[in-house]
Amino acid sequence: MRKTLIVILFVLFLFGSKLTEVSVSSSKQNTVLRFNLDEKTSYTDFTVDNSIVIDLLNTTADFDQNVWNISKGKIKNIEFSVVPSANMLRVTINCEKEFNYTITQEDKIITIDINTMTEPFETIVLSKGKETPEIEEKKEEKKEEKTYTPLRTKLSLNYENASIETALRAIAEYAGMNIIIGDAVKGLVTVKLDNVYWEDALRLILQTKGYAYVIEGNVIRVGSGKDFEAERESYEMAAPLVQKVIKLEFAYCDDVAKIIKGLLSKRGTIDIDKRTNSLIVKDVDTKMKEIESLVRILDTKTPQVSIEARIIDADKSVANDLAIQLGTNYMTQPQWNIGGQVGNAPSGGPVGGLSLTLGTIRDFAKLVGTLKALESNNKIHTIANPRVTTANNQQAEVFGGKKFSATVIDQRGNPVVTWFTAGIRLTCTPQINSLEDITMNIDIELSDVITEKLITITNASTRAVVRDGETLVIGGFIQQTETERIEGIPVLKNLPLIGFLFRRTYKETRDREVLIFLTPHIIKDIY
User: Does 492 share its domain with 358?
Assistant: yes
3-state secondary structure of 417: strand
Same domain, 397 and 413: yes
Listed in sequence order, the DSSP H helices in 215-363 are: 225-238, 253-260, 285-298, 316-326
Q: Is the same domain home to 130 and 40?
A: yes
Reduced to 3 DSSP states, what percent helix, strand and coil does the chain have, rounded to the nearest 5?
A: 25, 50, 25
In CATH, what number is assigned to the domain containing residue 82? 2.60.40.3500
Q: Could you tell me the CA-to-CA distances from 198 to 27, 44, 207, 280, 286 in Å, in that order?
A: 33, 50, 14, 43, 28
Identify whether residues 48 and 115 lie together within a single domain: yes
Judgement on whether residues 388 and 253 belong to the same structural domain of the protein: no
Buried b (16+ CB within 10 A) or exposed e, 489-521: eeeebeeeeeeeeeeeeeeeeeebbbbbbbbbb
Q: What is the pLDDT of residue 451?
A: 67
- How far apart CA 290 and CA 451 sit, in angstroms, is 63
Residue among 240, 220, 244 nearest 115 (CA) = 244
Distance, in Å, from the CA atom of 272 to the CA atom of 104, rounded to the nearest integer, reads: 21
Domain boundary among 258, 279, 298: 298
Q: How far apart are CA 504 and CA 497, in angstroms?
A: 15
- Residues 417 and 318 placed together within one structural domain of the fold: yes
Beta strands in 28-87 (DSSP E): 30-37, 43-48, 51-57, 59-61, 67-72, 75-83
Same domain? For 344 and 463 the reply is yes
Q: List the domain range (segments joined by +) for residue 266.
A: 239-298
Last residue of a domain, one of 92, 111, 145: 145
The DSSP element (H or E) to which 111 belongs, if any, is: strand 109-114
CATH number for 185: 3.55.50.30
How far is the C-alpha of 156 from the C-alpha of 319, rounded, in Å? Answer: 71
The 8-class DSSP code of residue 346 comes to P
Q: Same domain for 342 and 425?
A: yes
Same-domain status, 108 and 191: no
**CA distance linking residue 523 with residue 502, whole number of Å:** 65
Looking at the fold, whether 39 and 101 belong to one and the same domain comes out as: yes
Residues 341 and 275 in one domain: no
Where does residue 423 fall: left (phi above 0), alpha (psi -120 to 50 degrees), or beta otherwise? left
Q: Of 145, 174, 199, which closes a domain?
A: 145
CB of 477 within 8 A of CB of 311? no
Distances (CA, A) of 393 to 89, 302, 428: 49, 9, 10
**pLDDT tens readout for residues 2-37:** 444 444 444 444 456 888 889 999 988 889 999 998
pLDDT score at 409: 79
Report the pLDDT value the prediction gives residue 107, as an integer from 0 to 100. Answer: 84
DSSP H helices in 58-214? 135-145, 164-175, 198-209
Same domain for 15 and 130? yes
- The Cα–Cα gap between 399 and 429 comes to 15
Of the candidates 329, 423, 325, 337, the one whose C-alpha atom is nearest the C-alpha of residue 380 is 325
- Residue 492 is predicted with a pLDDT of 78
What pTM, to 2 d.p., does this model score?
0.48
pLDDT digits (tens, 9 = 90+) for 388-447: 999 999 999 988 877 777 777 778 888 888 787 788 889 999 999 877 789 999 998 888
> How far, in Å, are 297, 306, 392, 438 from residue 523 at the CA level?
21, 7, 10, 12
β 242-247/101-106 pair status: antiparallel
Return the pLDDT at 343. 39
- Number of helices (H), then strands (E), belonging to the chain: the values are 9, 32
Total domain count, the chain = 4
**CATH number reported for the structural domain that contains residue 276 in this entry:** 3.30.1370.120
- The one-character DSSP state at 502 is G
Residues (pLDDT < 70) of the chain are 1-16, 83-86, 129-152, 319-365, 451-454, 480-483, 525-527
